[in-house]
Structure 1
């Protein structure tokens, strides 16, 4: 398994992976979780995909996308401020240059390879990939809107989230906004053995697990 970061300049070269990503999002958010999202034959997408985000993808040995997340600069526009301001204590992120928003995080939980620990290896690999990309591109803080179940997963991974407001019922879930550190200590905590990535770095070399 390998982490791949796909910036707007590389959308065309990675069109197959991005198409798989949208289908995975449809299966998870529209299917398994039954969220109120827009799903078409091409998969799930929303207006934030039009803002030229960077995507973090987990790619299996069979060249299948088994995990994904979407990253946008925290100064906006962001999903937290425009779609879920009720999750923020002041309705605003107070965004700064070192803050990035992660959204549409999901993994293929049907994947057998990587099971056995307290958390699936794909989940930990995705966490490590998001942290690596964020650090490599000058971000020190990751903000996100998620639910209470995923908040517990982050805590089990040793990467606890600091809440940015009180939980709120949205649709069929209890949502919460939070902030996560993007630093070497967090990377080392979540990074699974054998971690590999092809992450675009602005000015530093690639991170690797100490294992």
Structure 2
């Protein structure tokens, strides 16, 4: 397994992986978690996918299958937290500054049988955590904002990542949602790297070749 950084329209390999990512999101968010999301032709896509995000994908070594994914958007632009879930801020201003990036649509295909890493977490989960923080640091970001649920907040705790809540949990659909900030620091990135983790940007160059 390795991580790759892709954006829409960069190359045919990246476009194929992005399509697989949307199919994975449909399986996880609609079928497994029963979230209220829009699925068409077996793909989950929302308005934020039209904002030229960066996608971090955990893929098999042969680039055949997407194991996990996360979507990254600048905190200064339209974000899910500011536009869709401001209720999670409990009336506080939307955090918005050049040092913040928003991570959304994080999911992992746990049925692929990838070996679990330390702390009982899926290896792809830890690799994506490390990749998000590594990417953030390389691009000048100091904070990662995210909207998630209480289950995922516990996963962050098991991974050893600090999570500063931006408000109280709120019921949204059939889950209890929460918004928070994870500091993007070299220490946090190193803390969550699973055994055998490959540097993200080496893999990006290999994909584009």
Contact 1:163 / 1:179 at 8 angstroms: preserved in 2? yes
Residue 203 of structure 1 corresponds to none
How far apart, in 2, do the equivalents of 1:76 and 1:9 lie?
Answer: 21
1:101, distance to aligned residue in structure 2 (A): 0.3
The reply to whether residue 92 of structure 1 matches residue 105 of structure 2 is no
Q: Secondary structure at the match of 2:69?
A: strand
1:112, distance to aligned residue in structure 2 (A): 1.5
Residue 60 of structure 1 corresponds to 60
Which ranges of structure 2 fall in alignment gaps of 5 or more residues? 205-209
- 1:149-188 correspondence runs (5 A): 149-188=151-190
Contact 2:8 / 2:18 at 8 angstroms: preserved in 1? no
Aligned residue pair count: 201
- 1:66-77 correspondence runs (5 A): 66-77=67-78
Q: Secondary structure at the match of 1:10?
A: coil
Residue 80 of structure 1 corresponds to 81
TM-score normalized by structure 2?
0.91
Higher helix share: 2
CA RMSD of aligned residues (A): 1.7
Residue 23 of structure 2 corresponds to 23
Contact 1:11 / 1:18 at 8 angstroms: preserved in 2? no
TM-score normalized by structure 1?
0.90
1:10, distance to aligned residue in structure 2 (A): 2.1
How far apart, in 1, do the equivalents of 2:9 and 2:61 lie?
Answer: 24
Contact 1:132 / 1:199 at 8 angstroms: preserved in 2? no
Deviations 1:170-200 (A, max 9, x none): 0000000000011100011101111114438
Residue 35 of structure 1 corresponds to 35
Contact 1:69 / 1:103 at 8 angstroms: preserved in 2? yes
1:8, distance to aligned residue in structure 2 (A): 4.6
Residue 209 of structure 1 corresponds to none
Residue 131 of structure 1 corresponds to 133
Which ranges of structure 1 fall in alignment gaps of 5 or more residues? 201-205, 207-211
Residue 122 of structure 1 corresponds to 124
How far apart, in 2, do the equivalents of 1:38 and 1:109 lie?
Answer: 22
Residue 141 of structure 1 corresponds to 143
Q: Secondary structure at the match of 1:199?
A: helix
How far apart, in 2, do the equivalents of 1:192 and 1:161 lie?
Answer: 20
